[in-house]
Amino acid sequence: MHQVTEAPREQASEGRGGPSGRPFLASGGGAWHPFAAAVSDAACGVDAPLTVISDVGEVETLDARIFLRGPAAMERWEHLAMERCLGRVLDLGAGAGPHTLFLQEAGLRVTAVDRLAEAVSLMVERGVRDARIGEVTEPPPGPWDTVLLLMNGTMPFETIAGFRLGLARIAAVLVEGGRILVDSTDLRGSDGDDRRSDGRYVGETQYQFRYGRLVGDPVPQLFLDPDRLQEYAGEAGLVAEVIWTGKEGHYLAEITRRQHAP
Ligand SMILES: C[S@@+](CC[C@H](N)C(=O)[O-])C[C@H]1O[C@@H](n2cnc3c(N)ncnc32)[C@H](O)[C@@H]1O
């Protein structure tokens, strides 16, 4: 566990960027402003270390250039997910659009959605043809053949209730035979215990982003184990299958809407 020292809090609503001074818009709530500023700075070529602090005391500092990665820097599971994309694709929580750009380049029709205006502006600057501001729990009508939720794509649903609601809404805009590709991390202990000492589900966490003097408000983030993912998929009339497993509980699942016999 790392020691966290409190930096003087800067109001994100001032609309300042990070060290590059690149302006960014006030949007998406105070929680995500350090993230937005760091990614905007990284896009300007500025060194942009983004610190993520979890409510269990874990502290990780990421180079925000990771959100601008090209296909060569992507991991195997990301390529596996993208290989399964067909037809009209919806990339939810698209960030700076790494997957959207790759699929667009491969000739697919992709719509990218993110809650941050900064992310959407950046996607447009980077060449994304259809980038929209929106919430993962309110997918555009489509219908969609493929929905992508990548880089711990359950996180933006924030809570189990948010995920169940969002998944039901995504199921409603998915064609028969359509699929959702989502990765997440199983945070259960080796004994399968899925509760913390305070009784909360182990994957219902809170994160706080910090970039330079910008400190975001804590935001709930959801990690789901594969058993719950399968259970909630079933509730939404879908079938989930784990198609890849990696280190430390990370996995990729494909959730399909089965085709009815004619
Ligand atoms: C960890 S980044 C991943 C971005 C991208 N999928 C990638 O692989 O680089 C998560 C993204 O989800 C967006 N996000 C978080 N909560 C959201 C929500 N409720 N609705 C839509 N987007 C959300 C954030 O703004 C951020 O761009």
Q: Look at residue 83 and tell me whether its pLDDT is greater than 80.
A: yes
Average of per-residue pLDDT across 234-247: 98
Q: How many CB atoms lie within 10 A of CB 195?
A: 11
- Measured CA to CA, the distance from residue 236 to residue 233 in angstroms comes to 5
Q: Which pLDDT does position 259 carry in this prediction? A: 78
pLDDT in tens, 1-41: 233 333 433 333 333 344 444 444 333 458 999 999 999 99
Cα 97 to ligand 1 centroid, rounded to whole Å: 10
Within 10 A of 105 (CB to CB), how many other CB atoms are there?
Answer: 11
What does the pLDDT read at residue 30?
A: 86
Specify the pLDDT at position 56: 83
- pLDDT at residue 258, as a whole number: 87
Centre of ligand 1 to C-alpha 1, Å, is 26
> Which atom number of ligand 1 is nearest to the Cα of residue 66?
9
Residue 50: which of 214, 184, 222, 218 has the closest Cα? 214
- State in Å: Cα 118 to ligand 1 middle: 11
Report pLDDT for 256.
98
Residue nearest to atom 14 of ligand 1 (CA): 93
Share of the chain above pLDDT 70, in %: 89
Q: Where are the domains of the chain?
A: 6-257
Peptide bond into 140 cis (omega under 30): no
Q: In the prediction, which pLDDT does 93 show?
A: 98
What is the per-residue pLDDT for 105? 97
Identity of the residue numbered 22: R
Nearest-angstrom CA–CA distance, 48 and 152: 21
More confident call, 86 vs 23: 86
pLDDT for 19 equals 46
Nearest CA to ligand 1 atom 16: 156
Question: Minimal CA–CA distance to 93: which of 156, 143, 142?
Answer: 156
CATH of 6-257, one of 3.30.420.40, 3.40.50.150, 1.10.357.10, 3.40.50.620: 3.40.50.150
* pLDDT tens by residue, 176-191: 999 999 999 999 988 8
Each residue of 90-149: pLDDT tens digit? 999 999 999 999 999 999 999 999 999 999 999 999 999 999 999 999 999 989 999 999
Residue nearest to atom 20 of ligand 1 (CA): 135
The encoded tokens of residue 16 equal: 């300042």
How much is the pLDDT for 29?
Answer: 53
